[in-house]
Amino acid sequence: MREPVSTVSGIGKSFLRHLHAMDIHSLEDLLYHFPRRYLDRRKLSRIGDVRIGEETTIVGTVRSAELNRISRNRSVLLVAVFDGSAYIYGVWFNQPYHADKLQPGIEVAFSGKVQYRYGRLQMVNPAYDILDDSTEAGMRSVHTGRIIPLHPATQKLSAAMLRRLIMRALDQYGDLPDHIPYGLRLKHGYPHRAQAIREMHFPGSAGRLNRARQRMAYDELLVMQVALAMRRHRLRTGTPGIAHAPPGKRLASFKASLPFPLTSAQKKAFEEISEDMSSPCPMNRLLQGEVGSGKTVVALLALLLAQESGYQGAIMAPTEVLAEQHFANITSLLTDACGVRVELLTGNTAAARRREIMEAAREGAVDILVGTHALISEGVDFGRLGLVVVDEQHRFGLRQRTLLREKGSHPDTLIMTATPIPRTLSLTLYGDLEVSVLDELPAGRAGTRTVVVGPGGREEAYELIRVELASSRQAFVVCPLVDASPAVEAKAAEKEAKELAGLFPGSRIGILHGQMAKADKDEAMAAFRRGDIQLLVSTTVIEVGIDVPNATVMMVENADRFGLSQLHQLRGRVGRGEHPSHCVFVFDADTEESQRRMRAIAEISDGFKLAEADLEIRGEGSLFGNRQSGMPDLRVARLIRDFRLLQQARTDAFALVEMDPGLDSPEHLLLRLEVEERFRDNLEWLFRA
């Protein structure tokens, strides 16, 4: 279906230009431009039967559109609609442009709250859809059935125009092949793709529409899961890996030297990792867990397992702050008796020191190399790289992760993330990986109380800060996210610090933001860790990699401008010590979505449950952009709503690939072509390690 959309009859240059503006370029783009909703005429209200104060939808014909000027800069547009039973008026203030579309004779659907004013029924600012445009002479009507599809439209292309165009496309190209094997369609009772697409646009009944939607959602999920199954099968069977030795005495000695006991989740995760690493197949495992759940310790155990087998390890972090934090944590846990050499390599490493580290890594003298993107730069080589650890991997592109792995000969890979991933997403975003979850926090932490307040509750946050500072504890204040510009954020931080200096006289206040020189940032963080700074004013640079157990209060300004996962990451910067901690989110939410997010962050402390809530609130949207691996976005399926279908598609896909790994049999050929087509821009991810 890659034919240009211009091959559909009746599309002129102007029409084509408008389609391209909607990102509709091919026949497939057009046929997969599904309705956003439907009007069922059997359930519509007659205008004569509507009730005052109720939300309703009516369908009728525009009889008149009158624009009245109230003053020089004010106008009111009255559009009268009649359906044979009564009139209702659409009312718009200072929006005269609606008159261009709502011409007399056009059939429309109005949706809104019914009012009775000035002796007439009316809707103020109703949502409307043009169902038929009588000015399009000679075009047969395709909206007179019982269920009317309403496609996403623009001011230049109405839903009625798109409806007619799609009908023509189906008449012209409707005999589409089906890539889902007949056996799977028969097993689940799904209609043929051609029939399902037609029913999605022009359903014969609500039941047939529902079945078509299920088929198309399953279709998307199956193709995605087949790709994941093919990739996992290839990684397991097509690439020789490193069979590391099982954990030995050196690793046991290190565990015994730790100043804290491992949690049950950490023990289980390392058992899974060590089992993978002892296999001759390359490990590809995701380690996910809450902020502070101990991912670094588990990663260090894996790195030491590689070192014990005579191999080197590398851990790559997205920022210098996080890389330095990993380096500090690792070196503090390792004693001289361990005999492990750890080095740090970042973009700011001095040239002479950089050459020294690179030579040692090339000769195999460095056991663990911690760094940023500098690890994948030209000239950085390893003598025997056996394990690659990528932290906060969603901040790296596919090519960057591949370059690091290519520094060795098929090393094991451990991906870490502190962003809890709902199960629905882990089966899609990371469905080609094995997953280990750290779902408990180390003992000895007092936890964090979350408070959400409006602008009037800011004094509550200030009082909490005063109490904690008086008890020799420390606090963070995170500046509002006012602009994407680092320079603007820097000014916001400096302004906030000046205001707080007046509110907390005598307190030592520091600033940390992305525009500061590295030496200044390092000194600010070092001073905060030492306790020389009591109150740190920061931008979101502290989101990851900052560990100061004595910090017990965090105040986040304009919290409604942050995503839930980011707020949860910020909250994780406190509550890391023995003292009870507090996180105050100050917000000025003016939308229902913002208010729902603020309620969620206040009520839910479990990161995985919060991630599910976040997904439900904001919807999937462009789910897979952060993965940067080319996972196609979903056009029909919704992961939360269609979780049962996702599980069904995953079971079918993995069974199918187990039976026919390359989809080489004739009955699977169309499915393979569909997988390659949907992943056409990222076949490297699909067919490479």
Domain-embedded: residue 541: yes
- Whether residue 320 is predicted with pLDDT greater than 90 in this model: the reply is no
- Whether residue 93 is predicted with pLDDT greater than 90 in this model: the reply is yes
What is the model's pLDDT at position 139? 41
Q: What share of the chain is helix, strand, coil (3-state, %, to 5)?
A: 45, 20, 35
Same domain assignment for residues 535 and 409: no
Cβ proximity of 333 and 260 under 8 Å: no
Q: What is the pTM of this model?
A: 0.70
Structure confidence by residue, pLDDT tens digits, 398-418: 667 777 888 888 899 998 987
Looking up residue 498, the CATH number of its domain turns out to be 3.40.50.300
- Whether residue 617 is predicted with pLDDT greater than 90 in this model: the reply is no
Last residue of a domain, one of 126, 150, 174: 150
Average per-residue pLDDT for the chain: 85
Cβ proximity of 546 and 538 under 8 Å: no
Domain-embedded: residue 569: yes
Looking up residue 110, the CATH number of its domain turns out to be 2.40.50.140
Same domain assignment for residues 546 and 434: no
| Residue 147: other Cβ atoms inside 10 A | 20
Provide the domain count of the chain.
3
Domain-embedded: residue 17: no
Same domain assignment for residues 475 and 542: yes
Same domain assignment for residues 279 and 402: yes
Domain-embedded: residue 653: no
pLDDT tier for residue 117 given thresholds of 50, 70 and 90: very high
Closest listed residue to residue 326, CA positions, set 309, 312, 346: 346
| Residue 506: other Cβ atoms inside 10 A | 7
Decide which of 159 and 533 is more confident.
Answer: 533
pLDDT tier for residue 622 given thresholds of 50, 70 and 90: very low
Same domain assignment for residues 433 and 311: yes
- What residues contact residue 72 under an 8 Å CB cut-off, 6+ apart? none
What are the start-end ranges of the H helices in 364-507? Answer: 398-405, 423-426, 458-470, 486-503
Structure confidence by residue, pLDDT tens digits, 98-113: 998 899 998 888 988 9
Last residue of a domain, one of 134, 150, 166: 150
pLDDT tier for residue 141 given thresholds of 50, 70 and 90: very low
Measured distance CA(430)–CA(439) in Å, rounded: 18
Going by DSSP bridges, is the β-strand pair 74-82/87-93 parallel, antiparallel, or unpaired? antiparallel
Decide which of 660 and 538 is more confident.
Answer: 660
Burial status of residue 160 (CB atoms within 10 A of its CB: 0-12, 13-18, 19 or more): buried
- Whether residue 218 is predicted with pLDDT greater than 90 in this model: the reply is yes
- Whether residue 254 is predicted with pLDDT greater than 50 in this model: the reply is yes
Last residue of a domain, one of 150, 177, 211: 150
DSSP state letter for 1: -
Cα 667 from chain centre: 35
Same domain assignment for residues 142 and 53: yes
Q: How far apart are the first and last CA of the chain?
A: 30
Burial string for 422-456 (b: 16+ CB within 10 Å, else e) reads bbbbbbbbbbbbbbbbbbebbeebeebebebbeee
DSSP string of 601-635? HHH---HHHHHHHHHHHH--SSTTTTTTS-PPPPS
Average pLDDT for 564-579: 83
The lowest-confidence range among 299-308, 488-497, 498-507 is 488-497
* Structural domain containing residue 536: 455-587
What is the model's pLDDT at position 572? 83
Same domain assignment for residues 366 and 479: no
Question: How many helices and strands (H and E) does the chain possess?
Answer: 23, 22
Same domain assignment for residues 424 and 368: yes
Decide which of 687 and 552 is more confident.
Answer: 552
Domain-embedded: residue 622: no
Measured distance CA(327)–CA(330) in Å, rounded: 5
Sheet containing 535-538: order of strands: 448-453, 581-586, 551-556, 474-478, 535-538, 509-512
